[in-house]
Structure 1
């Protein structure tokens, strides 16, 4: 075979050293003076190891092409290492932003800053991940890489556009439904990723080649991530239907759906899910994985249907926690630190918030996890079964007279305010009262509304000053000095039976102590009971005046009356 006589030798080529004066190709130990000096006259700057044996047959040309290919691979490895170091740094910064977001969202005065930190952290995480994908695609020689990048770009465009449109168009009264919908999407994404990882683990770097067995540890992570994701998805879909209240499908109606042996069935399905999940973990059975996934979807439905629409704040918070743990589980499978950190933050904060809200409702945390809140509603008896009791009622003009002649007014907003979309009218009323020298404060119960912080969100949308908004523990001591308390669409959170009647189903539940005020004005559409199915003793007190009607219409009438006063 003909060879080129003058092929340049690579400076750093292994097994390709000029033997110089070693015309007989003797071993390096025969020339100790050269290695002691650390020099190789044939290649400047090249230092061979003291025990290195180097051979090259006479007439054997240099493998310059192979050396260049190895150099290119080395450059790729170096670029990948640099990319991963940068990715780790950016993920760390995003994680710090998420922590600052949680800290900011813990108080209304810093909530905007918390939102900004959250958006910054998520934006940085998404951009970093996109950059990493494109970088790895550029270094990859595998077929189909371009098509995979195209799918990612399409997904980003579709998801980003849909999310932006939904967030822009949603009304604040529909925010709980949007939150439930977002939770369902997180759960569904976790399920899809788990399925992809089980079917093609080599594509996600879990194994080297198609057909290789997935390690048991990864199978456990996929089982947990997929199961929690499935429960989150189906449960969030039911929560969305209950919160919207406009679907005729029985499971989407606000009333609880209960049947005999419900909790036993949930327990049996939970144990079956665990069994098939462990079966998948130990032997990698795809059939066991599919059965486990189907059972998890059913469990998600059964956990949420026995919960009434008014108890949704705890449910939304719990589903939020589930979505975080689902993301964290998938993060372990994909070896993605950002998913693990973000999922853990969401999961733990959601669980803590759920515990706080359960405490505020005098409910059991583990009862919530098991689905349903026990028999409190049943023990109360059907609404309207008790004999009607007389109440004092008045008009918007009567309420305005009391408000304008008061020195201190405390407003207690409830879900009725959200349904009537009366937050802007309420802001206008309070501005006029403050202009007349009345001190106005808002008292917020942790579970008022249909999601955590629902009333805070409504008041923030109306741009109510944060220094007027107080949490229950901070303002309860002031009700006794208040001249007037205005209750708008709230019920059980101001029911004095929680403190005065040890036999009441809500006994021990922390409430806003509106009954201590000198005068109480309550606006409701009717005398219907709250989620506990109880009459509210507050409505029958001698110092209470009921103003019936839509909250927005009543408040607008109050605004006109203040202007004409």
Structure 2
């Protein structure tokens, strides 16, 4: 058995290296496919190695579970469109959290069962020379952390899924009572966990688990849709730490390494995205964006602003006569499932000799890399998809900027209005272009609840309607115009 375990550790080492190569591959669009393959190979190695190392496994049960998971995973992967990827990712995070909870519960119940058997048969075991060592404090602490992190991840991810999928039951909670309830749940959870850790009281263990489940729900419920990219990234991190906790419980080195990689990378990504929003992670999860004071809002409402609107034909004419165009996609493109229509517009302008590129803000959409995923699905060339830092200096020399359903990430108030809640947030400097066109359903404010001065500039033309339909009409207009 020792030989098998030593051999397994070597396989786990290979798997860990492949997981590291997976993260490296997924860091760039050109190497993403290879990175995904590395991850698949690493997972196969991890599963098969664990299967052979397991002591007295119930083979049929493991095979049935793996087959069921494979069927569900393959069918889901084939059926889910790219526009539903954010909620799918959130749902997968919830399953990792649930697995952590179930394994922690099973480990605790198993230990209690062994303790009971030992007490009942103490004499016989002593005569047979069999020793039983109950769960150590270190092991108890591992279960405590793994269980409450997993429970929080589970319910928080389920709520995130509901919010991203626009489910009626996943409504944003607002009110002064929310934060006190969050604090109470969190404190009670820690107290119950501490009592379980010191005394082994099972009632406290169940109470801690229940409170963690409730806290996970209440934690994400007040977070607005605009902050979902950070939430999804953070839940990704939590699912990784939950997996690492499972690894400690099961004494599985591969799970510890893989979970730590996912946990740390998710945490780093969350930090980067918060930095791109000029906000702290605490503010995103517990503070939200403060809205403008009621007096200012009332003043703004009493003085309606003028804006210029146009038709898709007008927009098509302007773009067909431009030498350079930058498209800024936002959540409106995802909501309208307009990525393929945008690709057709891209192809049309490219054929006309227009220098056309895409500008991506780090927190555009509802998950990390949301816009990149949609554009990749539409086969937009990677070299024409640029991040904010790469393209911001080019806006001033651009003829036309087309904004599709983006709002706060192009709001000039972040640059010049010190009283604005988003002041200091890095934005795409679309306002510097010669002409700006904005596709929106209405003049409603973005997630931050702020008006956008860009929409009222003389250089800006609003084009109202469904993103997909408007872009398709623009393409038709260009094809009928030409240079």
Q: Name the TM tier (shorter chain).
A: over 0.9
TM-score, length-normalised on structure 1? 0.79
Q: Please tell me whether the aligned partners of residues 156 and 219 of structure 2 are also in contact (alpha carbons under 8 angstroms).
A: yes
Unaligned runs of 5+ residues in structure 1 are 1-79, 138-144
Aligned residue runs from structure 1 range 74-473, under 5 A: 80-133=1-54, 136-137=55-56, 145=57, 148-201=58-111, 213-245=134-166, 247-249=167-169, 252-253=170-171, 256-369=172-285, 371-373=286-288, 375-376=290-291, 385=301, 387-473=303-389
Residues 1:157 and 1:486: Cα distance change in structure 2 (over 3 Å): same
State the shift of 1:114 in Å. 2.1
Q: Please tell me whether the aligned partners of residues 291 and 450 of structure 2 are also in contact (alpha carbons under 8 angstroms).
A: no
Q: Please tell me whether the aligned partners of residues 224 and 288 of structure 2 are also in contact (alpha carbons under 8 angstroms).
A: no
- Alpha-carbon separation, structure 1, partners of 2:321 and 2:9: 62
- Alpha-carbon separation, structure 1, partners of 2:304 and 2:233: 36
- Deviation per CA, 1:142-166: give whole Å up to 9, x if none: xxx5xx2222111111111111111
State the shift of 1:387 in Å. 4.1
Give the SS at the match of 2:356. strand
Quote the residue 1:519 is aligned against. 435
State the shift of 1:386 in Å. 5.7
- Deviation per CA, 1:105-148: give whole Å up to 9, x if none: 22223222222222222222122222333xx43xxxxxxx5xx2
Paired positions, count: 468
Q: Please tell me whether the aligned partners of residues 90 and 124 of structure 1 are also in contact (alpha carbons under 8 angstroms).
A: yes
TM-score, length-normalised on structure 2? 0.92
Give the SS at the match of 1:109. coil
Give the SS at the match of 1:479. helix
Aligned residue runs from structure 1 range 472-551, under 5 A: 472-551=388-467
State the shift of 1:240 in Å. 0.9
Name the structure, 1 or 2, with higher relative contact order (CA <8 Å, separation 6+). Answer: 2
- Alpha-carbon separation, structure 2, partners of 1:95 and 1:429: 43
- Deviation per CA, 1:13-36: give whole Å up to 9, x if none: xxxxxxxxxxxxxxxxxxxxxxxx
State the shift of 1:103 in Å. 1.6
State the shift of 1:378 in Å. 7.1
- Deviation per CA, 1:51-102: give whole Å up to 9, x if none: xxxxxxxxxxxxxxxxxxxxxxxxxxxxx22222221111111111111121
- Alpha-carbon separation, structure 1, partners of 2:146 and 2:428: 40
Q: CA RMSD in A?
A: 2.3
Q: From the CA coordinates, give the structure whose radius of gyration is larger.
A: 1
Q: Please tell me whether the aligned partners of residues 328 and 358 of structure 2 are also in contact (alpha carbons under 8 angstroms).
A: yes
- Alpha-carbon separation, structure 1, partners of 2:138 and 2:168: 44
State the shift of 1:448 in Å. 0.4
Residues 1:213 and 1:81: Cα distance change in structure 2 (over 3 Å): closer
Residues 1:320 and 1:381: Cα distance change in structure 2 (over 3 Å): farther
State the shift of 1:264 in Å. 3.0
Tell me which protein shows more helix as a share of its residues. 2
State the shift of 1:214 in Å. 1.0
- Alpha-carbon separation, structure 2, partners of 1:293 and 1:180: 21
